Amino acid sequence: MRLLGATPAEQGTFATARDRIADGRAARPRAATPRQLPLDGAGFVGREEELAALDETALTAVVGTAGVGKTALAVRWAHRAAARFPDGQLYVDLRGFDRQRPVAAAEALGGFLRALGVDAGDVPRAEAERAALYRTLVAGRRLLVVLDNASGADHVRPLLPGTATCTAVVTSRDDLTGLVVREGARRVRLEPLGPAAATRLLRTLLGEEADVAAIVSRCAGLPLALRIAAELDDIGGFDTGDPRTAVRTVFSWSYRHLGPRERHVFARFGLHPGPDLDGAAAGDPAALAALVRAHLVTRTGADRYAMHDLLRAYAAETLPAGEQRAALTRLLEHYLALATAAGAALYPHDVAGRPAPGGADAARRTLDRERANLVALAGLRTEHAIGLSRALWRYFEVGGHGHDALAVHGAAVHAALAGRDGAAQVMANLAGTYWWLGEHARARDWFERALAWHERSGDRAGRARARARLGLAHERLGDYAQARACLVAALAEYRLIGDRHGEGSQLLNLGGLHRRLGRYGLARRHLRAAATRFAELGDARLEGYALGNLGALESLVGRHEEALDQLRRALAACRSVRDRGGEGSALAALSAALLRLGRPAEAAAGFEQALAVSRETGERGLHIEALNGLGDALQALGRNDKARHRYRTALDLARRAGDPHETARAEAGLTGRR
């Protein structure tokens, strides 16, 4: 099977994903089927014909003007029909008419794939690959897909399931003519509510005895306008029967009833590019509560709030341009302070700043909760993107959030190259993300650019860090002489500036390099010194890394019991600080030691766990190492066909990553020269 329109590299990635599906190790949900439908709101009235039309076709395009109730119709029908789709319901708000950042099809596909059970590390990077894998996973399943607020047909085509067993509902202000003509979608055009239905809606909201005739006549039958108008005491001055202007008129009418504090929070919310925000970002809980009561803001969770995109656009317009810039700056500064404090609490040796109270676990929860907002704010490409890159780089790396890291660091590089400070560090952050994702040649190039900037600026600490990470890129690419030269120079630089943590990191890196080169005595000295240094500094995460490398070394020289003890300590250390990447590396090294001890079944189980971690974090180097290790264990168990499958997958990935060491391991396994 070939992926039409894909490059040879994309063909290889899709083939790898397809093979994993066939092998039963990816794709199908591990626990529950997706149930992503949003809440079915109260007060829905009318639309009987439109609901019936949705029952009759596998692809429906619900179209109509803003505020006419397209989302409410789709969600109401989806909940009513959910039992027909036992394999689950997928939902995404594509924010197609968002003024800042519509959700790209590739981003939506990534969310769908993860909801369908694909580990984060197995989600392909290219949109075409994601779409092909998505269609493979949903084939033959009875699944509902709701694609809300699309900008047009091209926005949703990659998200359409390619099987008759699935049903898709698309909503849009666009007529979606292309979807009707090319894909055969049935178009359901949603018109404003008639007087009777509008009256029923208002009486549902206000009570049966309410006199609603004046409101009905002036809201043009738009449910959004009706709901907002129902909250107001005075409808004087509102006079329009035109659906094109009714919503804006109701907004302005509602806005006039707000006090100065509520107006300020309303405008601040409108400038926010992310999907939601919390009460602290809004800045005034009482004003926020008033906006919720007025239906201008929706509560989506505990202290979480969202705003309809029409309201968001209107809210932003309520401030003059100069005040918009000031308000947006305050919003960015709030989130930058939040990210910096959380990053400093999690990784005090990597992020400068005052740590957030509550400890590391609370900081991690904060960043997990706000990650989508932080990525969206970085996308504005202001100087704050540089600060977000500096605050979040280690969190992204340890958490395996590779695609978010690319977005934030890429925006930061763009901002820095536009004349702001910080270019070298954010270049190094971008390079580190490429290294993590297995693009080692691209990582090397960006590390070299970062190093050149640090050389010109005279930033010795930054220069040492960039040189050290450049050494790691050279190591993965098989240029061991250059790797050693970079790491030795970085070690010397850290010693000169008195950075004991940086010094320990280079002892660790050099120890790992010498172990790979077979210089076991020198490797042992470096690694023991690194473990001691990190224990003194209280860095359990990197102490675990040093112990893991020591354990791998002792296993190679036949000191098996000592190796197992150190590797188990390394695994416990990484788990204690929730470093999934370190945990995966420790699992792989522990499994290799078990295999040398003649315990292949235990080794195979451990390598499978390491693979699962690599898929979650997206670390390509660990993924390749674990595949090769699993091939070795399966071969030792006599499962040669399964072993060859792992070796072939590892070989394909290692060649594309430019890693000669793992390439040679895979080739040796395939030819029986292991």
pLDDT at 68: 83
Q: What average pLDDT does the structure give for the chain?
A: 86
Q: Look at 29 and 669; give whichever has higher pLDDT.
A: 669
Do 205 and 43 form a contact (C-beta atoms < 8 A)?
yes
Among 66-70, 310-314, 328-332, 616-620, the minimum mean pLDDT is found in 310-314
| Buried/exposed code over 288-325 (b: 16+ C-beta within 10 A; e: otherwise) | bbbbeebbbbbeeeeeebbbbbbbbbbbbebbeeeebe
* pLDDT mean over 446-460: 91
Mean pLDDT, residues 32-55 taken together: 85
Gap between the Cα atoms of 564 and 570, Å rounded: 10
Farthest CA pair distance, the chain: 89
Provide the residue type at 124 as one letter: P
**Range scoring the smallest mean pLDDT among 239-253, 264-278, 286-300, 327-341:** 239-253
Query: Are the C-beta atoms of residues 570 and 544 closer than 8 Å to each other?
Result: yes
CB neighbour burial string for 490-521, b if at least 16 within 10 angstroms, e if fewer: bbebbeeeebeebbbbbbbbbbbbbbeeeeee
Split at pLDDT 50, 70, 90, the class of 646 is very high
Judge whether 296 and 307 are in contact, CB under 8 Å: yes
pLDDT of residue 548: 94
Mean pLDDT highest for which of 164-178, 566-580, 594-608? 594-608
pLDDT of 16 higher than 80: no
Per-residue pLDDT of 171-198, as tens digits, reads 998 889 889 999 999 999 888 888 888 8
Q: Looking at residue 285, what is its pLDDT?
A: 86
Q: Cα(278)–Cα(469) distance, rounded to whole angstroms? A: 37
**Do 164 and 59 touch, CB atoms closer than 8 A?**
no
Structural contact between residues 279 and 285, judged by C-beta atoms closer than 8 angstroms: yes
| CA 87 from centroid of its chain's CA atoms | 24
Distance CA 541, CA 549 (A): 13
**Predicted confidence band at 230 (pLDDT cuts at 50, 70, 90)?**
confident
Q: What is the pLDDT of residue 673?
A: 65
For residue range 283-326, what is the model confidence (pLDDT) as tens digits? 788 888 888 877 788 888 888 888 877 678 788 888 887 788 88
Return the minimum-mean-pLDDT range out of 229-233, 413-417, 460-464, 619-623: 229-233
384 vs 411: CA distance, rounded Å: 10
Q: Model-level pTM greater than 0.85?
A: no
Q: Is the pLDDT of residue 519 over 50?
A: yes
User: How does pLDDT run across 467-483, given as a tens digit for each residue?
Assistant: 999 999 999 999 999 99
CATH fold label, 579-674: 1.25.40
- The span from the first CA to the last CA of the chain, in angstroms, equals 31
- For 199-205, the CB contacts below 8 A with 24+ separation are 200/45, 200/46, 201/43, 201/45, 201/46, 201/226, 201/227, 202/226, 202/230, 204/42, 204/43, 204/45, 205/43, 205/230
Question: Chain-centre distance of CA 472, in angstroms?
Answer: 25
Q: Which of 221-230, 246-255, 532-541 has the highest average model confidence (pLDDT)?
A: 532-541
Pick the CATH number of 260-319 from 3.40.50.970, 1.10.10.1690, 3.30.1490.20, 3.90.1150.10: 1.10.10.1690
- What is the identity of the amino acid at 645? H
Q: Quote the pLDDT of residue 102.
A: 83
pLDDT tens for 595-616 read 999 999 999 999 999 998 888 8
- Residue 367 · residue 401 · CB < 8 Å: no
pLDDT tens for 355-387 read 999 999 999 999 999 999 999 999 888 889 999
Q: Which of 114, 113, 149 is nearest to 131 (CA)?
A: 113
Query: pLDDT at position 18, please?
Result: 44
Q: Which CATH fold topology does 8-189 show?
A: Rossmann fold (3.40.50)
Q: What are the tokens at 424? A: 């070298």
How many Cβ atoms sit within 10 Å of the Cβ of residue 280? 10
In the chain, the percentage of residues whose pLDDT exceeds 70 is: 89
Name the band, by pLDDT with cuts 50, 70 and 90, for residue 28: very low
Tell me what pLDDT residue 42 has: 72
Residue 196 identity: A
Residue type, 73: L
Across the range 229-258, mean pLDDT stands at 60
Q: How confident is the model at residue 30 (pLDDT cuts 50, 70, 90)?
A: very low
Enumerate the CATH 1.25.40.10 domain ranges in the chain, comma separated.
579-674
Report the pLDDT value the prediction gives residue 25, as an integer from 0 to 100. Answer: 41
| Residue 4 pLDDT > 50 | no
Range list for CATH 3.40.50.300 in the chain? 8-189
Please give the pLDDT value at position 21. 44
Q: What is the DSSP string of 381-406?
A: -SHHHHHHHHHHHHHHHHHT-HHHHH
Closest CA to 405 of 423, 382, 430: 430
Q: Where in the chain is the domain with CATH 1.10.10.1690?
A: 260-319
Residue 86 CB coordination number (10 Å): 10
Whole-number pLDDT of residue 294: 74
